[in-house]
Amino acid sequence: MPKIQEIYPLPEAALIDPFAFLDPTVADRCCASARMADVLGQAREGDEKRETRQGHNDGVLALLSQYAKGSVSPVEVVDRLQGRIRTSANAEAILRFARDFDVAAAESSKRWRNGTARPLEGVPFGVKDIIDVADTIITCGSFFTGDRIASRDALVVSRLREAGAIPFAITATSEFALGSPHNLRYGPVRNPRDAARWTGGSSTGSGAAVAAGLVPLALGTDTGGSIRVPACWCGISGFKPTRDLVSRDGIAPLSWTLDHCGPMAREVADIAATLSFMTATYDRDLDKACQDALRNHDIRGLRIGVPVNWFIEKVDDQVLSNWQAELSTLARLGANVVELPYLDIAPLYKSGWTIMMAELATLHAARQDNPDHVDAVLSDRLQAGLKITAVDYAKALQARVAAQRILLDAMSNVDLVCTPGVGSEAGFLETMTAEVNGETLDIYEVIPRNTNIFNLTGFPALMLPAGLGRSGMPTGIQIVGRPNADALCLQAGMALQAAIV
């Protein structure tokens, strides 16, 4: 009988390299009938036949419209963005530029001139510093990784590159996509709306960069809310797709069971215009659904479920008021807003934390031997993760099945669910606290409460802006669908944003 080391080679070093860690769930992929290269070839062929559609905002769609008219070129756009980054008060959101972005911009400009533009030709995008970009330093926001240079693109970056988009800037992250706002290597990323407040983590740089106009589109990752929280607190749109709709290949894991990758943009329409170019394989149905949603935001007859507990608890009254106003808009647009049954989320929420901390400890336990190089929040969670037993971890994994069943049963008579976003306005960097109805709470009591459960279930979840809080900072709402109802979430989000006068 072969030894386990012969089947699954274990790293010789005491520290596990997150980029070399084998995700246990990939074992089933060897059963796929189509080779990845063949599928990507089909995607490229389909991509070239798509038309570029014009938008009405200052993001991805607007750039494509301007390129098509010849009023600006990709070279001019990246030059302008570089200048903006160098002078921006939010420049800490950008750690470095991607290798050869200027070469890619020149190629895109040439393609627009000679009529061979691809669907996302010349659109610059930010990449969170745990997602590989070929020949570019990717550090996971940690001293431990040194100046590691990625040998190839992560699959999501490769897919966007094939569609003509340009990996432009590497955006800041909490250490290993988990730690506190106070990154030991790079420092904090401040909220563009108020420098005393955080953007939310861990896609902290991607959220700030999009909000500050430093990039029109950015990739983030989301394990307990790390796309949706910065989107909410920075007043932009962020989407956590259905689990593994966007590949995690080439992305350093935090929790291989809960991790998701997805886009952040100023408006939902820009997410709808780009999502089908991020998927691991070309999904014709998703592509058509997204394009249909871009053309038609009609949500008449859609049934929207609203929670009666958990998601509306530990939420500031102004956040609730803004959410209720958005529900009224949905109703005015023809949707039927109905109450969900009572949901016992608390034990499921706890299971999500158990999984994340156990898997975090698997990856990073040995780093505690160097406390001066470890973020304090990361260190605390490593210690908690090391105390989790194998039985507790297994039970938490089993709770994923229960969570999916409970949520699907609750959604049996609705098309989508709409919850408040994060329960407060952006938290304060100095104290790491947030305010809810005048009560000062630890920041981590608030930020993952309404988002964590949908990492556990893997359901698609969209965060978009919904008014301002008591202090004039952004608040948000969350639209959630069943698995693979990604385009429907985006359609509802676009309907809301189109209704804003």
Task: Specify the 3-state DSSP secondary structure of 230.
Answer: helix
Which residue in 238, 168, 247 sits closest to 208, CA to CA? 238
Annotation says 151 is catalytic: no
Task: Give the other-Cβ count within 10 Å of 17's Cβ.
Answer: 13
Q: Would the CA dihedral through 217, 218, 223, 228 be positive or negative?
A: negative
Annotation says 202 is catalytic: yes
Which residue in 501, 483, 477 sits closest to 237, CA to CA? 477
Task: Please tell me the distance from the alpha carbon of residue 209 to that of residue 416, in angstroms, as a whole number.
Answer: 29
Largest Cα–Cα distance of the chain, in whole Å? 69
Task: Please tell me the distance from the alpha carbon of residue 404 to that of residue 402, in angstroms, as a whole number.
Answer: 5
Task: Identify the active-site residue in 109, 158, 180, 226.
Answer: 226
Task: Specify the 3-state DSSP secondary structure of 310.
Answer: coil
User: What is the torsion angle, in degrees rounded to the nearest 10, for the CA atoms of residue 149, residue 151, residue 155 and residue 161?
Assistant: 80
Task: Identify the active-site residue in 73, 142, 202, 351.
Answer: 202
Task: Specify the 3-state DSSP secondary structure of 255.
Answer: coil
Q: Would the CA dihedral through 377, 157, 144, 384 be positive or negative?
A: positive
Task: Identify the active-site residue in 88, 109, 128, 424.
Answer: 128
* Burial status of residue 3 (CB atoms within 10 A of its CB: 0-12, 13-18, 19 or more): exposed
Positions marked catalytic: 128, 202, 226
